Amino acid sequence: MRNTVFLALALAMMASLATGPVCAADSAVVLSYRRFGDDRIPSANTRLDQLDAHIAELISGGYTVLPLPVVVDAMQAGKPLPDKAVAITVDSAGTSVWTQAWPRFKAANLPFTIFVATDETDRGGPDTMSWESLRELAASGLVTIGSQGAGHPHMPALNMAAITEDMARARTRFETELGKTPDLFAWPYGEMSREAAQAARNFGFKAAFGQHSGSVWRRADPFFLPRFALNETYGEAERFRLAVRSTALQAVDITPDDPKLVTNPPAFGFTLAVEIAGMEHLACYTSHDGRAVIERLGPRIEVRMNKPLPQGRTRLNCTAPALDGRWRWFGWQFYVGN
C-alpha cells in the first residue's frame, strides 16, 4: 500500500511540474533483472509482457541504451553521456535469460551485462545456463559478463579472508571458461560492506553494483552504485517509466558510509552537492518503517528512523521532483548482521 501511495503521489507531481533542462553528464539509470517469465518466485521474476513493454519503452521513449562498461568508463572519466542514458543488467545466469530475455534483447539490439555466480554455473541444472551459452553471449558483442563472485554469499557476514577466497575462486573459473576476468562486480543480494569493497578493489574491479534504487552519478561511490531492481511488482509500466527517466539526487558525505551497521538505527545523513530546486518536496522512505523524518541543516540532510532496522537488508529511498517533470532519486541499502 505504501508503495502504491508513493507512486500515485509521484505521478501526480510529475504531471504538475514545469519542464527544464537536464545536464546529460550527471547521471544514468542502470536496470537490474533476474528471471523472466518464471512465476515460481515473483519477487525475482519479470513477466514477459512486462519485459516486452520495457523494451518498447526503451526503443520509443528517447533513451540511449549503452553497454554498462561504457557508462562506468564515462562516469569515472567525467565524460558526458546522452540524456536518458540507460544500461541493462541481469543477476544470475538463469535459463530464462537464455530462452526469454536474450532473444528479445538481441532482436532489439539492446546490450546488457549478466553478472554470474560461478559456483551456480558449475553446478548446472535445468534452471542454469551453461558456460557454453555464456561464451556464446560474450562472443555476440552485445553482452558483457560480470562477476557476482563464486558462492553468492552474504558478503558483509564474511571476514576478509572468506571474501577474498570467494572472489579468487570465481576469478579462476572465469579465466578457465572465458579466457578473461570480469572487471565489473555485483554484490550478492545487493549487500556490501567497506571490507568487501576493499576486497573488490584489491581484485582490480572497476566498479561494483548494489540493488538499491537510484541513478548512478559521476561522484557516487564506484563500489556501491545503485540499480533499479525490477520484478513483477516493480516492473509495471508506470513505475518502470518513473524509474528509467530518473536523474541522480547528488548526495555526498554520506554517513555512516559503511552499509554494514554498527549502530542501529543509524544516524544517517548526506549533503547535497549543489542546491537544486524542488528540495522542499524531498521525501525519504525506508522499507521497514515507511516515511522517515528529515532534518534540513542547509545543504545537509539528516534522515531519522524511529525503529531499529531488522536483521538482514533494509532499503532507503529519497526522492525529489526535478523541474523537467522527472525525479531525482537517491537510494541506499543497509545491512544488519546477527
Assign 3-class secondary structure to 42-62. Answer: HHHEECHHHHHHHHHHHHHCC
Task: Report the distance separating Cα 77 and Cα 308, nearest Å.
Answer: 39
pLDDT digits (tens, 9 = 90+) for 61-120: 999 999 999 999 999 998 989 999 999 999 999 999 999 999 999 999 999 999 999 999
pLDDT-derived band at 13 (thresholds 50, 70, 90) equals very low
**Which of 54, 44, 56 is CA-nearest to residue 88?**
54
Domain of 222: which CATH number? 3.20.20.370
Q: What domain count does the chain have?
A: 1
Instruction: Please give the residue range of the domain that contains residue 14.
Output: 2-336
pLDDT-derived band at 248 (thresholds 50, 70, 90) equals very high
Task: For 186-211, give the secondary structure using H, E and C.
Answer: ECHHHCCCHHHHHHHHHCCCCEEECC
19, pLDDT greater than 80: no
Whole-number pLDDT of residue 323 = 78
DSSP three-state, residue 235: coil
- How many Å from the N-terminal Cα to the C-terminal Cα in the chain? 29
Place of cell 542502470: 30
Q: How many C-beta atoms surround the C-beta of residue 164 within 10 A?
A: 16
Task: Report the distance separating Cα 279 and Cα 249, nearest Å.
Answer: 10
Please answer whether residues 217 and 27 qualify as being in contact, where contact means their C-beta atoms are separated by less than 8 angstroms: yes
pTM equals 0.92
